[in-house]
């Protein structure tokens, strides 16, 4: 059974920022929609198979890489909390978990 997905405020802001970037860069929403659907599919897969992501060393957080994006999350007994969606082409020093 799939666990419930909870989006942190940071993850929501990340998602909006990423989709808005591609909308502005390309000039239409077609790629943003495609990317959003792709992210939703992988998050749904994480809800069914929470151990699919790699666990960070000595931490509870896990992450899954989809194309150039890293999805950081925490698994609880009943839910998956999406913490952050990170474009790995950005500077790694800016990533804060």
Domains and CATH numbers, the chain: 4-89 (3.30.2310.20)
**pTM, full prediction:** 0.85
Pick from 21, 51, 50, 49: nearest CA to 35: 21
User: In the chain, pLDDT over 90 holds for what percent of residues?
Assistant: 63
pLDDT at 75: 93
**φ, ψ for residue 53, nearest 5 deg:** -85, 160
pLDDT at 1: 76
d(CA 13, CA 7): 10
Neighbours of 13 (CB within 10 A): 13
């Amino acid at each position: 059974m799939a666990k419930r997905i909870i989006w942190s405020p940071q993850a929501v802001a990340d998602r909006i920022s990423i989709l808005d970037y591609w909308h502005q860069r390309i000039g239409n929403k077609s790629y943003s929609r495609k990317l959003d659907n792709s992210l939703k599919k992988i998050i749904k897969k994480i809800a069914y198979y929470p151990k699919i992501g790699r666990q960070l060393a000595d931490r509870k957080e896990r992450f899954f890489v989809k194309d150039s994006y890293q999805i950081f999350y925490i698994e609880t007994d009943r839910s998956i909390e999406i913490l952050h969606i990170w474009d790995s082409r950005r500077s790694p020093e800016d990533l804060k978990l």
